[in-house]
Structure formats: C-alpha cells, structure tokens
Chain A
Amino acid sequence: EVKLVESGGGLVQPGGSLRLSCRASGLRFSNHWMGWVRQSPGRGLEWLTKINEDGSEKLSVDSVKGRFIISRDNAMNSLYLQMNSLRVEDTAVYYCVRDSRKNGCLFGGPGTLVTVAS
C-alpha cells in the first residue's frame, strides 16, 4: 500500500515561508516522478508542481512559479515543497502525489493544511 504522509503545514502570515515534507512508503520512491497538489477550502484540486526521479527536472504551474520550490531526497524517501512569498490565496490543503502516466497518479495521505492569514 502506497503511503504518503505530509507534514509541515500551519498558520503563516502573508509574505512568509513554510516548508512541507512528505514521507513515502510502499513504493520504490526513487523510481517515480512525484508532485504536489492543493485544494483550497470548498474548491477543486490544483496540480502545482512535479519533479522527476533524480530531481534534475522540475515543472510548476504559473501561479506558484518562482515562489514554490520542489525537491526530494531519495535516500530518505522524502519529497519537499519550499513555499515562499505566501499569499492569502495559497491557503489550502496540500497533498503529495505519485505522478505516473503509466501506473496512475496516487494520493496517499491526509494532506497538510496551510493557512495564510494575518
């Protein structure tokens, strides 16, 4: 069973920073692209960013480009999201996902809530 346990969320002021973590188990982490998805309160899902197997390739949507940085540590089976210059509209539950066109995109954890407010 794939498990992706997110952590690091919390309350932060506009303009602040936060680092999210995701610990993976039940999959060969280093064999997969991984990504972050968020869901704002009462809203739909938004794919934010993804990273390839060795961390050499990263893609992000325009709304977070230049502010959010994805990274990974394959030795620790961990994925990270450094979030800078946070805005009120970044308030959401953030999910770590396995990214695979061949085997499917999988959510594996409860997500972590980020609240940006003064």
Chain B
Amino acid sequence: QPVVTQEPSLTVSPGGTVTLTCASSTGAVTSDFSSNWFRQKPGQTPTSLIYATVNRYSWTPARISGSLLGGKAALTLSGVLPEDEADYYCLLFDDYDWVFGGGTKLTVL
C-alpha cells in the first residue's frame, strides 16, 4: 500500500500564512489523486475542508485553499487564527484506494 507523507508538525504566527503538504510514495501527486483535507481538534470528529484537490465545502473559509505544489497536494491557510490550531490530515486516492497521511500538528503561536 502506498505511503502518504505529511509534515509531522508546523508552527505559524497568528495572522500568518502556512502551507501543509502531502506526498505519495508512488510519485508526483496529480489531480487524479482527488486529494481531500481534513481538520481535527482534540476529541472531535474530523471535519472536511477540501475535496478533489481545490474545492471548498460551503463551510470552508475562503482563507483556506487547496492546490498542487511541486508534485504534492497542498493546503494553505492564510490569515491564520488561533482556532486553526489542530491536526490536519490529507487523503489521497492512490493505487486504486484511499490512503491517509500521518497528519500535521499545526501550532498557532
């Protein structure tokens, strides 16, 4: 099964911009991987943020965006707020099945 890799942890200042990435062991991530991004706060169910690489849900703030960057899926948060502190997971459709990344712990400090 493919391995999907994310940064284990990142730190950003309030008001700043941060980009999280998601790489596949099978090669460059493309739109065919239909990347999804989720946010999870302690004790809560993951919340979907982005699907099919770039699409927001109705509840996803406009300051959160998805893209492809340097062969990886990427999630960019702009104008970061304290409530953005959470774990973020990517999900790729890789080698005919879905695979989660290990998650990125985002600290807002």
Which positions in A face B, CB cutoff 8 Å?
35, 37, 44-47, 50, 59, 61-62, 95, 99-107, 109-111
Contact = CB atoms under 8 A, between A and B. Distances in A.
B91 A47 contact: yes
A35 B50 CA distance: 18
Interface string B38-64: 100000011110111001010000000
Contacts of B45: 95, 107, 109-111
B97 interface: yes
Contacts of A95: 45-46
Nearest to B57: A104
Contacts of A62: 1
Contacts of A103: 51-52
Given A45-B103, A104-B48, A109-B45, 19 more contacts: A44-B100, A44-B102, A45-B38, A45-B46, A47-B97, A50-B98, A59-B96, A59-B97, A61-B97, A95-B45, A95-B46, A99-B98, A101-B34, A101-B93, A104-B36, A104-B51, A104-B55, A105-B48, A107-B38
Contact of B100 (A45, A59, A101, A110): A45
B68 interface: no
A104 B1 contact: no
Contacts of A111: 45
Nearest to A33: B98
A104 B98 CA distance: 12
Nearest to B55: A104
A107 B48 contact: yes
